[in-house]
Amino acid sequence: MKSFHHVLVNTLLANVTTSFLWFALTFWIYLETRSVLATGIVGGGYMALVALCSLVFGVIVDHNRKKTVMVIAQVTTFSMYLLAGIMWVTVPHDAFVTLSSPAFWAFIIVILAGSVVENMRNIALSTTVTLLVPDGRRDRANGLVGMVQGIAFMVTSVFSGLSIGFLGMGPTLLIALVATGIAFAHLVTVSIPESRIVTSGQVTSVRDGPSPEGTASAPAHALTLHDRVDLAGSIAAIRSVPGLFALILFTCFNNLVGGVYMALMDPYGLELMSAQAWGIVMGVTSVGFIVGGAIIARTGLGSNPVRTLLMVNVGVAAVGGVFAIRESWLLFAVGIFVYMCMIPAAEASEQTILQRVVPYERQGRIFGFAQSLETAASPVSAFVVAPIAEFAIIPWMRHGSGRDMLAWLLGHGDTRGIALMFLIAGLVMLVAVATAFVSPQYRRLSAHYAGTHQSVAAEGT
C-alpha cells in the first residue's frame, strides 16, 4: 500500500499538468473564436484519439513494467508540450486566432497528443491497483484514485481559468512545461515492486467452489508477452464473463449521451460568466470529486458494484437533465457539484468489477479495449451535437418559436437551446438505466462477481 500511495501522489502531479493545459486550451479556443463548433470538434477529437490509441496503450501496459509505461507517457507529454511552446514562440500570433489557419489546428493537435498519452498512465494505474492492493480492498483504493483525480480537477479548473484570463496562452504553456518536469523528477523516485512482468502462471482467478475437475479453474484466455494485440482474444475474454460485454456496451451508450455535456458544458458556463469566474466555479464544484472519492475510499461500493454503478447513473441522468432547467449560474454550479460527487462511484464500480473478473495478465488490453469502445461514443455525439446545437437548436430557442413554446419548462434566456440539449440527454440516459436494471445480463454479472476472486500470487514480482 505504501508503493500504491506513492504512485497516487505522482498521478496527482501528472494529472494536474495535463488537466491544467487541457482546460486552458478549451477556454482559450472558445474565447478566441466564440464557436461552439470549434470546442465540440476539439473535445470530440480528444476522445477520438483516446479511442484510437487505447488498444495500443493496453498492449504497452501488459508487455512492460508499470513504471516504464509511466515514464514513457511522461516523456512523451513533455516533448509535445515543448513542441507546442516552440510553435507559440515562432509562429505569428495572428495565425493562432483564425479557425481557417493550419497553425491554429496544428497547435491544438500537438497539445492534444501530449494530453492523450496521459491515458496510458491511467490504464497502467488501473492494473497497478490489482498488482499492489489485495482483493476486497480495491474498491476503496479506486475511491482514492477518484479522490486524487478530483483534487487535480479542482486545482486545474481554478488555475486554468485564472491563467488564461490574466496571463494568456504563452505563460500557461510555460507553467505546464515546468509542472511536467516536476512530475517526471518525482516519478524517478517512485518504486513499483514489479521485478518482472506477471504472466498467466502467477495469477489466480477462480470462482468459489471446485471446478468440474475438482481443482481451481485457471484463466481461460491468458496470454504471454509474445502475444500481439489479439483483439479477438480480448473480446473472447470479455464474453467469457457473463454480462461483462453488456456492461461495457452500457457504459459506451452512456458516453454517447455524455458527449452532449462534453460538447456544451464549457460554452454554457462561459455564456453565464467570465473565464476567470467559470474556472473558479469548476474548481469549487470539483470538490465533489474529492467528496465522492473519499466516501468510496471509506465505505467501499457495497457487495454488488454492478448495482451501485446503475444506481449512480440514475442520479447522474437526473441531475444532468435539470441543472440548466433555468438560466442560473447557481443552479448550474450546485448541479455540477452533485454530478461530480457521483462520478467517482461510477468510475470505481467499473474498475473494481474489471479488476476482479478479468485475468491480471490481460487487464491492460481489456482496460484499453473498454476505454477505446467507451470513449469512441463521445466524439460521435460531440461531432453531431455541436453543429446541431450551434446551427439549429440554439437559434430556434433564442430567436425562433421554441423560445415561447418551451418557456414554461426551460424559462427564458439566451442559453435555453443548450439547456434543452441537456434535458433530452438526461431523459435518454434514464431510459437506458431502467432497461439495464431489468436485463438478464445485470443479474448474471452480479452473480458472477459475487462468486469470483482474483489475487496476484507473486505479490508484484
- The predicted pLDDT at position 229 comes to 58
Largest CA distance in the chain: 73
Please check the confidence at residue 448 and state whether its pLDDT lies above 90.
no
Which residues are CB-neighbours of 197 under 8 A, at least 6 positions away?
62, 63, 64, 65, 225
User: Grid coordinates representing 92?
Assistant: 505569428
Distance CA(126)–CA(452), nearest Å, equals 19
- The predicted pLDDT at position 427 comes to 92
- pLDDT band (50, 70, 90) for residue 205: very low
Between 215 and 98, the more confident residue is 98
Least confident of 112-126, 203-217, 320-334, 434-448: 203-217
User: Grid coordinates representing 406?
Assistant: 418551451
Mean pLDDT of the chain: 80
Please check the confidence at residue 226 and state whether its pLDDT lies above 70.
no
Residue 85 and residue 173 in contact, taking contact as beta carbons nearer than 8 Å: yes
Residue 429 and residue 333 in contact, taking contact as beta carbons nearer than 8 Å: no
- The predicted pLDDT at position 274 comes to 83
When pLDDT is averaged across residues 49-63 and rounded to a whole number, the result is 82
Least confident of 118-132, 175-189, 203-217, 268-282: 203-217
What percentage of residues in the chain have a pLDDT greater than 70? Answer: 88
* 3-class state of residue 212 by DSSP: coil
Nearest Cα neighbor of 188 from 75, 329, 341, 327 is 75
301-346 pLDDT, tens digit each? 888 899 999 999 999 999 988 998 998 889 999 999 998 899 888 8
- pLDDT band (50, 70, 90) for residue 458: very low
Residue 299 and residue 383 in contact, taking contact as beta carbons nearer than 8 Å: no
Q: Rounded to 5 degrees, what are φ and ψ at 204?
A: -110, 125
Q: What is the DSSP letter of 452?
A: E
H/E element holding 422?
helix 416-437
User: Grid coordinates representing 337?
Assistant: 457539484
Which residues are CB-neighbours of 159 under 8 A, at least 6 positions away?
20, 279, 283
Residue 445 and residue 241 in contact, taking contact as beta carbons nearer than 8 Å: yes
* 3-class state of residue 453 by DSSP: strand
Please check the confidence at residue 160 and state whether its pLDDT lies above 90.
no
Please check the confidence at residue 412 and state whether its pLDDT lies above 50.
yes
Least confident of 31-45, 232-246, 275-289, 445-459: 445-459
- pLDDT band (50, 70, 90) for residue 454: low
Between 61 and 78, the more confident residue is 78
What percentage of residues in the chain have a pLDDT greater than 90? Answer: 13
- The predicted pLDDT at position 173 comes to 92
Distance CA(200)–CA(358), nearest Å, equals 12
When pLDDT is averaged across residues 154-172 and rounded to a whole number, the result is 81
Distance CA(407)–CA(360), nearest Å, equals 53
Nearest Cα neighbor of 162 from 262, 39, 23 is 23
Query: CA dist 364 to 125, 360, 425, 460, Å?
Result: 10, 8, 31, 15
Distance CA(419)–CA(411), nearest Å, equals 10
Q: What is the DSSP letter of 321?
A: H
Task: Please report the domains of the chain, with CATH numbers, ordered by start residue.
Answer: 2-191+240-452 (1.20.1250.20)
Q: What share of the chain is helix, strand, coil (3-state, %, to 5)?
A: 80, 0, 20
207: which strand partners? 452
Please check the confidence at residue 282 and state whether its pLDDT lies above 60.
yes
74-128 pLDDT, tens digit each? 999 999 999 999 999 988 877 777 777 788 889 989 999 898 888 888 888 888 8
Least confident of 40-44, 200-204, 420-424: 200-204
288-306 pLDDT, tens digit each? 888 888 898 888 888 889 9
Helices (H), 34-134: 36-62, 66-90, 102-116, 118-132
- The predicted pLDDT at position 201 comes to 45
455: which strand partners? 204
- pLDDT band (50, 70, 90) for residue 206: very low
Task: Identify the top-confidence range among 3-12, 84-93, 147-156, 202-211.
Answer: 84-93
Q: What is the pTM of this model?
A: 0.71
User: Grid coordinates representing 323?
Assistant: 441543472
- The predicted pLDDT at position 456 comes to 61
Residue 191 and residue 10 in contact, taking contact as beta carbons nearer than 8 Å: no
Half-sphere exposure of 371 (CA within 13 A, CB side): 30
User: Grid coordinates representing 450?
Assistant: 459475487
Residue 453 and residue 206 in contact, taking contact as beta carbons nearer than 8 Å: yes
- The predicted pLDDT at position 378 comes to 65
Please check the confidence at residue 141 and state whether its pLDDT lies above 70.
yes
Distance CA(270)–CA(266), nearest Å, equals 6
- The predicted pLDDT at position 423 comes to 92
Please check the confidence at residue 211 and state whether its pLDDT lies above 50.
no
When pLDDT is averaged across residues 240-256 and rounded to a whole number, the result is 84
Say which amino acid occupies 249: L
Residues 103, 108, 111, 112, CA torsion sign: negative
User: Grid coordinates representing 308?
Assistant: 451501485
Distance CA(404)–CA(146), nearest Å, equals 42
- The predicted pLDDT at position 455 comes to 63
